[in-house]
Amino acid sequence: MMEWQVQKAVTKLQSNRLTAILKVQSAMMQEVHDYMHEKGLLQLMPVMISPITDPLNHSVLEGEISYYGDKLQLTKSMILHKQLSLLGDREGVYIVSPNVRLEPMERGATGRHLLEFTQVDFELKGKKAADVMEFMEALYARIFAKVKKECAQELAFLGRTLKTPHFPMKKFDSAELKRTLGSDWEKMVSKTAGDPIWVTNHEREFYDKEDLDRPFTYLNYDVIYPEGFGEGLSGAEREHEHPRILERMHRNKMELGPYGAYLEVAKAGLLSPSAGAGFGVERLVRFLCGAKHIEEVAPFAKVPGGKFVF
C-alpha cells in the first residue's frame, strides 16, 4: 500500500483528465510561440537565480540560496532582466519563465496560487499600454480559437463550454472600482464579468510607470478573468529614467543596495522606454479548462501550505 499522499499524486498523474488538460496547455503554448515569432519577439531562456529579482508588491517568504557566500535569489519574475535584455538593438523579447514565490500558506485556498508557476513574460521596446492591450487581445483571440478548434474533444471531456471573449475587452480603473465596490472589488468583478476585462491603474512596484500628468496614477493594467477565475495577467509601461526610478523606489521604501548594478545602468541612461506584461500559464490553462483549483492543471503542483511529494 502506498502512503495516501503518494497514491493521490499517482492517481492524478495517471488520469485522463490530466492528459486532456495538458493537451489544452500544449495547444495554447504552441499558439503563444507562433504568435511571438510572427510578431518578431526574440525568445530568451529563463533566468532562475540572480542577485536581483522582482521585489513584488505583496510579501512572500524569501527564496534565497547561498553560493560561496554570495546570495542569489530564486526568480520571482524576470521584469528587471526583461528591461535589461532590451539594451541591444531588439524590439521585443519573451520568456516562458519559471517563477518561485513562496506564498504564505493562506493563499492555498484562493484556488489560483502555487509556489512555483510559469509566466509567459514579454516586453516591447518603445510601446505603450494601449499597444500591449492590443497585442495581448490578439493573442487571446488566437489562443481561444486554437484551443476550441484543436481541443474540442478534450474540452467536452472536461465538461467545459468555452466562450470566446468579446474584443476589444472592456477597461476599468481600479480606483473607481474600489470606490464603488469596496476593497473586495477584484473578486466581485471576476464573479460578475461575462468576459475577461482590463483593470488599469494599480499602486504597486516601482517599475510600473507613473502618469506624470496625473500624479499617483499608474500606467499599468491587469486582466481579470470572468467566472471567478480572478487575475490572469499584470503589466505596465515601465519607469526607465534614473530619477523616476529612484523616486519610486523611495516611495516604496525600498533598500537601494541590492539594486546597485541595475541603478548604474539606469543612471547611464541605457534603459529604453518599454511596456509589457506577464500572464500565468497555469492560470490561463485553469480558465480555459474550467478547473476548480489551479492544482488540477499542474502535474506537480505546490499549493501554498500543502504537502509536497514530487
Among 9, 114, 120, 219, binds ligand AMP (CB under 6 A): 114
Among 279, 285, 288, 289, binds ligand AMP (CB under 6 A): 279
What is the torsion angle, in degrees rounded to the nearest 10, for the CA atoms of residue 298, residue 66, residue 94 and residue 296?
Answer: 10
HSE of 1, CA atoms in CB hemisphere, 13 A: 2
Least distance to ligand AMP from the beta carbon of 278, Å?
4
Among 35, 278, 285, 301, binds ligand AMP (CB under 6 A): 278
State which amino acid sits at residue 56. Answer: L
Indicate the residue whose CB is closest to Mg ion: 234
* Helix/strand/coil for 100: strand
Q: How many residues bind ligand AMP (CB under 6 A)?
A: 16
Least distance to ligand AMP from the beta carbon of 1, Å?
33
Match 524590439 to its residue by C-alpha cell: 91
94-to-27, 33, 35, 44, 152 alpha-carbon distances in Å: 18, 9, 11, 6, 28
The C-alpha cell at 99 is 517563477
Among 209, 283, 286, 302, binds ligand AMP (CB under 6 A): 283
Task: Kindly identify the residues of this chain, within the stretch 64-93, that bind ligand AMP according to CB under 6 A.
Answer: 77
CA–CA separation, 57 vs 148, rounded Å?
35
Among 55, 165, 232, 276, binds ligand AMP (CB under 6 A): 232
> Judged by CB under 6 A, does residue 119 bind ligand AMP?
yes
Among 103, 154, 239, 295, binds ligand AMP (CB under 6 A): 103
**Which conformational region is residue 104 in: left (phi greater than 0), alpha (psi within -120 to 50 degrees), or beta?**
beta
> Judged by CB under 6 A, does residue 63 bind ligand AMP?
no
User: Kind and range of the H or E element at 275?
Assistant: strand 274-280
HSE of 87, CA atoms in CB hemisphere, 13 A: 10
* Segment contacting ligand AMP by CB under 6 A, of 113-121, 123-131, 134-142, 207-215: 113-121
Q: Quick one: 158 or 220, whose CB is closer to ligand AMP? A: 220
Least distance to ligand AMP from the beta carbon of 282, Å?
6
Q: Return residues touching ligand AMP (CB under 6 A).
A: 77, 101, 103, 113-114, 117, 119, 231-234, 278-280, 282-283
